[in-house]
Structure 1
Amino acid sequence: MRINITSVFVDDQEKARDFYTQKLGFQIRHNVPVDGTAFWLTVVSPENPEGTELLLEPDGHPAVKPFKEALVADGIPAAQFAVDDLAAEVERLKGLGVKFTMEPVDMDNIAFAVLDDTCGNLIQIAQYKI
C-alpha cells in the first residue's frame, strides 16, 4: 500500500492552482471539470511527477471552513512539504511575495517554516537533516 493522493482544502481552486504552481513550483497532474463549478485538480512535485498527488479540493462542505479557521487560529499547518535547503527556499518564496507566519526554526534534526497559501491554509516547509 502507498499514498496516492492527499488533499488540502482551498477556498478558490484557480487561486490555489496559481499559488501551488507559480509560487511553490508544483506541476499540474490533473485538471478535469467535475460539475461545472469545480475541478479534479491535482499537482505533483516536478522532482517526482509520478509520485503522490496533492488534490486542491474545494472547501465547500459546511464542516471544512470552521475546521480550516481553527487550524489557522492555532497556527497548525494543513500540510508539510520537504525542501533540500530551507533558507534558500524561504528566500526564493519571499522574493515571490509569499507571506510567512513562522520564520525558519532550527531544531535538532529538522528546520522548518510556515507560510500562508492564500487559500485559507498554513503550509509547513521542512528540511530534514538526517
Structure 2
Amino acid sequence: MITNISLVTVYCLDQDATRDFYVKHLGFKPGVDVPMGPGFRWVTLIHPNQPELEVTLMTPGPPLDDDAATFVRRQLEAGKMGGLGLRVDDCKATFTELSAAGITFLQEPSDRPYGVEAVMRDNTGNWLVLVEPKNS
C-alpha cells in the first residue's frame, strides 16, 4: 500500500545554486548530497515542516536521453518549467518579503476560489506557486 509521496523532482541548471536559493529564501534544509557517478549527483532538500517529502534537484542529463535533456534545459532557460506548489500562511506577506529579497514574481497575490495565490520563479526559472488556502 502506498502511504505518501516521499520524493518529487525539480530540474535546475546548477544544483548548488538552486539548493542555496531554496535554503536561503524558502526555508528548506539541505538533505542528501552524494556523487552517483561521473557528472551525476543526488542532491535533495527537505522542508522542516514536511520532512517525509524530499525535493530532488536534478540537472538535465542522465537518465534523460540527449533530446529530452536539451528540451528540459531550453525550458528552464526560457522560464517555462513548472516546479512546486508551496503552502504559505500569509501570501501577501510572503510576497512582500520575497520581493524585497529580489525574487521575481510572475503574478502578485490574487484571490482565487481556493485561497490567495502568487506565482514566482526560482533561480533557475521554475514557476513556484505560493498558496494561502481559504480558512487558513
Q: What TM-score, normalized by structure 2, do the two folds share?
A: 0.81
**Identity of aligned pairs, percent?**
29
Q: C-alpha separation between the residues in 1 aligned to 2:69 and 2:133? A: 30
CA drift of 1:36 comes to 4.4
Q: Match for 1:99 among 90, 100, 104?
A: 104
What is the one-letter code of the residue matched to 1:23?
Answer: H
2:29 aligned with 1:23 = no
Give the corresponding residue for 1:43: 45
User: Are 1:100 and 1:115, in contact at CA under 8 Å, matched by a contact in 2?
Assistant: yes
Please tell me whether residue 125 in structure 1 is matched to residue 133 in structure 2.
no
Corresponding letter in the other structure for 2:33? N
- C-alpha change, 1:65 and 1:80, in structure 2 (3 Å) is farther
Q: Which residue of 1 aligns with 2:56?
A: 55
**In the superposition, relative to structure 1, how do residues 57 and 24 fare at CA in structure 2: closer, same or farther (>3 Å)?**
same
CA change 1:65–1:93 in 2 (3 A) is farther
Tell me: CA distance 1:65–1:22, structure 2 relative to 1, closer, same or farther (3 Å).
farther
Max Rg structure: 2
SS for the counterpart of 1:22 is helix
Instruction: Give unmatched runs, 5+ long, in structure 1.
Output: none
Partner of 1:108: 113
Matched to 1:14, the amino acid is D
Q: 1:95 Cα shift?
A: 2.0
Asked if the contact 2:79–2:124 (Cα under 8 Å) also holds between the matched residues in 1, the reply is: no
Write the distance in 1 (CA, Å) between the matches of 2:117 and 2:82. Answer: 11
Choose from 8, 13, 34 the match for 2:36.
34
Q: Give the root-mean-square deviation of aligned CA atoms.
A: 2.1
Distance 1:16 1:97 in 2: 15
Alignment length, in residue pairs?
127
